[in-house]
Amino acid sequence: MAYLISDEAKDLLQDVHEFCENEVKEQCKEYDKSGEWPKEIYDKAIEMQLHSLEIPEEYGGPGLSRVDIAALIEEMARADAGFATTISASGLGTKPVLIAGNEEQKKHVCEVIVNGGFGAFALTEPGAGSDPAAGTTTAKKDGDSYVLNGRKCFITNGGIADFYCVTALTDKSKGVKGMSIFLIDAGTPGLSSGHEEDKMGIRTSNTADVVLEDVRVPAENLLGNEGDGFKIAMQTLDQARAWMGVVSTGISQRAMDESIAYCKERVQFGKPVIKFQAMQFKIADMAIKIETSRQMNAYALNLMDMGKRHSKEAAIAKCYASDKAMEIATEAVQMFGGYGYSREYPVEKLMRDAKIFQIFEGSNEIQRIVIANNTIPR
């Protein structure tokens, strides 16, 4: 583990390591097959307060730095990326509120998470993925309320969340400047979760549609002001992207660990294949990619801790770490040979899990747009 972390985080990391080795890794392999959401694993993680790591100390969080938290999330991702994504996405649900909400809203969402609940951020729609401004969900002012209608899709924790931060157009004529964000509790009449995705990877995470049919919320559920929604969403994604870099790095680390262990056991031409320089160079390339990913993640997270803008750095961290996770997982399958292609061995799952990190929280093509926009002087 190359993150420089506090003594407090080191102790917690040991506990997380043991929990992941004994109660997550092999168990999630089975849940990956069934596609069932592993409630008992999340119950234990909640008992250990792992889902509230990012909650600020004043609202009941542990007060760790984000680099400390990264070491813990990466360890969880090493065991199962879907599990780490769910844990991290609860933090994602609180971000729009922590960025733009009032004191009461912040206390509310943090309390829900600390007490074992889940949150979700609902931005994407069937016709609005890379281009969130093309969304058609609306929020119409009606007296002291807003009435929301629309459908969100691919929402992490969409079917299990206790609260949702939902983007909606309050003024269709203004494009991105007409977008706003609302905090809506699960159970609000008209809000329901719809179709659940049967995914290729990260199958231990819940991904579902969120349907809004005449959902009436008090006007005070608006985060910030009308028209602030796009900027709040982009700031939320800036933070989320760095975390997805961290989860990707966990997948890479696991792929390298599995490859080393296998190559030490596998004998061909009379010696373990790890003795061949071809294999050693593959491992060296993996190590270069993993350590570089980790340092970029830490840089983006440090900027976040300092309250500095980190759009470019988070986009680089997410883009680089997820591209490398895909390369490393694919190389691990290659190093396992025919066994790598078998579901009996662990690496095909890593390849399936890694793919989504190049797609969600903004595809890696979108990350390159963000990086270019923040690099080329206008």
Distance of CA 319 to the CA centre of its chain: 13
CB of 26 to ligand COS, least distance (A): 30
Q: What is the DSSP string of 267-321?
A: EETTEEGGGSHHHHHHHHHHHHHHHHHHHHHHHHHHHHHTT---HHHHHHHHHHH
Q: Using the minimum distance from each CB to ligand COS, give the nearer residue, 12 or 161.
A: 161
Q: Using the minimum distance from each CB to ligand COS, give the nearer residue, 205 or 259.
A: 205
Q: Using the minimum distance from each CB to ligand COS, give the nearer residue, 336 or 360.
A: 360
Q: Using the minimum distance from each CB to ligand COS, give the nearer residue, 129 or 178.
A: 129
**For binding to ligand COS (CB under 6 A), which residues are involved?**
121, 123-124, 129-133, 176, 230-231, 234-235, 237-238, 311, 360-362, 366, 369-370, 373
Decide if 57 contacts 46 (C-beta within 8 A). Answer: no
The rounded distance, in Å, linking the Cα atoms of 144 and 303 is: 39
CB of 361 to ligand COS, least distance (A): 5
CB of 167 to ligand COS, least distance (A): 10
Q: Give the nearest residue (CB) to ligand COS.
A: 362
Q: Is 30 left (phi over 0), alpha (psi -120 to 50) or beta?
A: alpha
Instruction: Tell me which residues are annotated as active site.
Output: 361
CB of 83 to ligand COS, least distance (A): 18
Q: Using the minimum distance from each CB to ligand COS, give the nearer residue, 82 or 362.
A: 362
CB of 124 to ligand COS, least distance (A): 5
The rounded distance, in Å, linking the Cα atoms of 183 and 174 is: 22
Q: For residue 363, give every residue at least 6 positions away whose Cβ sits within 8 Å of its Cβ, in sequence order, or none.
A: 129, 130
- Per DSSP, the three-state class of 49 is coil
Q: For residue 135, give every residue at least 6 positions away whose Cβ sits within 8 Å of its Cβ, in sequence order, or none.
A: 123, 125, 127, 128, 150, 167, 168, 169, 179
CB of 300 to ligand COS, least distance (A): 12
Q: Using the minimum distance from each CB to ligand COS, give the nearer residue, 123 or 251.
A: 123
The radius of gyration of the chain's CA atoms, rounded to the nearest angstrom, is 21
Q: Is 127 exposed, middle or buried (0-12, 13-18, 19+ CB in 10 A)?
A: exposed
The rounded distance, in Å, linking the Cα atoms of 194 and 35 is: 17
Number of neighbouring beta carbons within 10 Å of residue 121: 29
